[in-house]
Homo-oligomer: A and B are copies of this chain.
Amino acid sequence: MQPKLKDVAKLAGVSVATVSRVINDRGYLSSGTKEKVYQAMRQLNYSPNSAARALRGKTFKLIGLIFASVENPLIAEAVQKIENQLFEGGYKAIICNSLDNPAKEQQYLKMLMANQVDGIITGSHNESLKEYKMSGLPIVSYDRYFPSPIPTVSCDNAAGGKLAANTLMDKGSEKLMLISGSLEKIPRNADRVAGFNQAVEAVGQKSTTVRLRFNDTPGIKRAMIRQQLSAYQPDGVFCTDDQTALLCLQEAKSLGMKVPDDLQVIGFDGSQYVQQYHPELSTIVQPIDDIVDLLVRILFNRLEQNDDQLLDRYVLPVSLLQRGSLRN
């Protein structure tokens, strides 16, 4: 059995209240007792029962993380960094993979509330809007546009789409194709698509659009991409995420298209992983470090109610990472 406050108190020869005070560094304490208590705690390898603390009004120091799938490199990176920062701040992270499934997301939400999490960082659907609102919890959203007052952080998806289009056209592509890696219902994606199309139309050009679904297997996606590539023979493709762009690159090559001479490709996300391990792929890079910093900062700000001036909506700039899949 884990040692309790009482055990520590007995060993240190003080009352439980004193031990509690030492732990929470509260009120007056002589350095002598402090030392004795620390000693005893160390000796017993004591750590307070968080259930009991939570019951007495202290929080659990628990944050829910809801994302579509941690298998996506950018999300993995974000989760990793978020978890790190939370840990620094003394918080734990409960992980939830919604798989972009609204029902599952709703279940998660309910579970998180029942578990008294202190807050939620979500990068998933927002169909469960009611629940989010009702929860009364501090919530921060990544790349999903919640209505005020839920703060949202995202990169400038529209600008990214535009940048992709203009880059392709500047570098000589004329038959453009857009491959949307997941439903356009998701506003983030819709913005990337809209930004791209707008820029294309602005100069009187055209482009076809291919729509894949988030939950399609890579095999299915591959087949669809391959078919569209050979049917339409584009010379410039923008994919709304890097995974899709990688499939596109592969299929293009296996169709005998030369990259970047016959075909230029741009992806979106630019995780460290892709930057390191896919050196050919050009992509629109999200400033993921800044995004994570902001997400966590906003959350902490609400949790610790040190009311800094905070916006409801942060849009961070994207940048182009130009590599082999683009001409010089």
| Chain A residues engaging chain B, CB cutoff 8 angstroms | 2, 45, 47-52, 54-55, 60, 62, 65, 69-71, 73, 76-77, 79-80, 83-84, 87, 92-97, 110-111, 113-116, 134, 218, 243, 246-247, 250, 272-273, 276-279
Q: 20 A-B residue contacts at CB 8 Å?
A: A2-B113, A47-B111, A47-B114, A49-B55, A50-B115, A51-B60, A51-B116, A60-B115, A62-B115, A70-B79, A71-B76, A71-B77, A71-B273, A73-B76, A80-B97, A84-B97, A94-B94, A94-B95, A95-B95, A247-B276
**Contacting residues, chain B, for A134 (C-beta < 8 A):** 45
Bound-state Cα–Cα, A96 to B65, Å: 13
Bound-state Cα–Cα, A316 to B220, Å: 30
A212 to chain B, nearest CB (A): 14
* Count of identical protomers in the assembly: 2
Bound-state Cα–Cα, A233 to B140, Å: 52
The 9 residue pairs across chains A and B that have the minimum distance between CB atoms = A51-B54, A47-B114, A95-B95, A51-B55, A218-B276, A51-B51, A76-B76, A246-B277, A50-B115
- Residue among A45, A95, A115 having the largest count of chain B Cβ atoms under 10 Å: A95
Bound-state Cα–Cα, A52 to B60, Å: 12
Bound-state Cα–Cα, A51 to B58, Å: 11
**Contacting residues, chain B, for A79 (C-beta < 8 A):** 70, 95
**Contacting residues, chain B, for A92 (C-beta < 8 A):** 94, 111, 115
**Contacting residues, chain B, for A277 (C-beta < 8 A):** 243, 246-247, 278
**Contacting residues, chain B, for A94 (C-beta < 8 A):** 92-95
A77 to chain B, nearest CB (A): 6
**Contacting residues, chain B, for A93 (C-beta < 8 A):** 94-95
- Residue among A52, A87, A92 having the largest count of chain B Cβ atoms under 10 Å: A92
A105 to chain B, nearest CB (A): 12
Bound-state Cα–Cα, A69 to B79, Å: 10
* A49-B116 contact, Cβ under 8 Å, with A70-B79, A80-B71: yes
**Contacting residues, chain B, for A73 (C-beta < 8 A):** 71, 73, 76, 273
